[in-house]
Structure 1
Amino acid sequence: MVRKVLVISDTHGSIESFEKIIKLVGEIDLIIHAGDYLYHGPRNRIPKGYNPGRLAERFKEFKDRFIGVKGNCDAEVDFMLMETSELPAVKFTSLNSKKILVFHGHKLVESGNAEIIIGGHTHIHKLSHYDRKIIMNPGSPSLPKDGTAGTFGFIEFGNIITFSIFDLNGMLIEKEEFK
C-alpha cells in the first residue's frame, strides 16, 4: 500500500526547491507531479536554484514511483532528459482504490468519477472539498504567485486520508481529511 505521496507542480527547473522538499518530507512512496518540470517558460523569471539538468536526474531516481502530466512549459526535450515518454495532458489513475485525476491548466476538466483531483499551473496553492471530492493544487515551490515562500502538497494514506499543503519552511498551510 502506498502511504506517503509528495504532490508537486510547477517546479520549473529549480533543484534547490525540490531538494528542500525532499529534506522536509523524508521517505516517500510516490511523487505526483502536475506539470511544468524543467523549463521556466518565457513569462517567468528564472527561479532560484535553476538547474534543469540536475532536477531531471533527481526525477529519474523516482522513475518507478512517479505519476505526471504535461504542463504548458514542458517540451519533448524535457521528457528526453527525464528519460520518460511524453506525458499526457490529463491522467486518470487509481491509488489505494481511490480514483485520481491529475491535470495541468487553469480550465476545469471533466473529473468523471475521480475522488481526488490534483491540478497545477496557477502557482497558487488550494485545498478544498466539493461533492465528496478533494481538490488539491500544490502551488509552486519555485515560482509561487500566492505570497508564500513556495508550496507543495502531501498525501498520507491510512484509515483516514490526510491532504496537506506546506510551505518550503515546513509550515502547514492547509489540511483536509477524507475517508
Structure 2
Amino acid sequence: MRLMFVSDIHGSEQALDQVLVHYAKLNPDYLVLLGDLLNHGPRNPLPEGYNPAAVAEKLNPLAQQIVAIRGNCDSEVDQMLLKFPCLAPYNHLLAAGRRLFLSHGHLHALDELPLACGDVLVTGHTHLPVAHREGEQYLFNPGSVTFPRGENPASFGMLEHSHLSVRALDDGRELLGCDLD
C-alpha cells in the first residue's frame, strides 16, 4: 500500500496544485490529509494563492481516496465545502503491518496514547518534518506544504512498503526517511 500524507494546506491553491502534481506521479492508494485544509488560521499570514473554495473544489473529486482528520483551523463551515469527512479528531489506518494513529497534533501526544510497540504516530500541526523511531513507536510528520518552519522546505510525506519519507514539495526529493523494521 502507498500512502501520501499532506498537512497544513491552509487554503493555498498554489500549494495544493504542487501536491496534485506529485499525487498524479506517485499514484498512492490513499491521500491522507492531516488537518488545516482550508483556513489559514489567525496566527498565520494569508498564504500565497489563498483560495479555500478552489482547494475544496480540487480535493472533492478525490474524495474516495481521501482519509482526513480535523486540524485546529478546521471547522464545520469547512466541512460544508468538502465531499469527504474532515472533522474526526483522529483516525487509525493499518498499513505496512503497522497501526498508524493519525492526529493533527494539537490534541494528542505520544505519551498520552495507548500505542503498541511498532505503532506510528502520524501528525501535522508543527509544520516541522519528522521521521524517526522514538522508543518503541515511530513518529512521522510530513511538515507543511504551505507554511514550512525551521528553515525546512515545503514538504509532504509518503509511506511505500515499509519506508516512511518526507519529500520536498518542489521536486519530490527525499528529505528524511525511516524504515519500519
Whether these two folds match at TM > 0.5 is yes
* Native 8 Å contact 1:35 1:74 kept in 2: yes
Deviates more, 1:125-134 or 1:70-79: 125-134
Say which of 115, 119, 130 aligns to 1:115. 119
Distance in 2 separating the partners of 1:147 and 1:37: 22
**Alpha carbons of 1:86 and 1:23: their partners in 2 closer, same or farther (altered >3 Å)?**
closer
Structure 2 match to 1:9? 7
Are 1:133 and 2:137 counterparts?
Answer: yes
* Native 8 Å contact 1:101 1:111 kept in 2: no
Identity %: 28
- TM-score for both structures, normalised by structure 1: 0.88
Structure 2 match to 1:48? 48
The letter for the 1-side match of 2:148 is: P
> Runs of 5+ in structure 1 lacking a partner?
none
> Runs of 5+ in structure 2 lacking a partner?
none
1:30-69 superposed matches below 5 A: 30-69=30-69
User: 1:134 deviation in Å?
Assistant: 2.2
RMSD across aligned positions (CA):
1.8
* Native 8 Å contact 2:12 2:49 kept in 1: yes
* Native 8 Å contact 1:155 1:163 kept in 2: yes
Q: Show CA shifts across 1:120-139 (max 9, x none).
A: 11111111112343211111
Matched residue count: 174
Distance in 1 separating the partners of 2:86 and 2:147: 24
- TM-score for both structures, normalised by structure 2: 0.87
The letter for the 1-side match of 2:169 is: L
Q: Show CA shifts across 1:89-122 (max 9, x none).
A: 1212323542110001245141423712100111
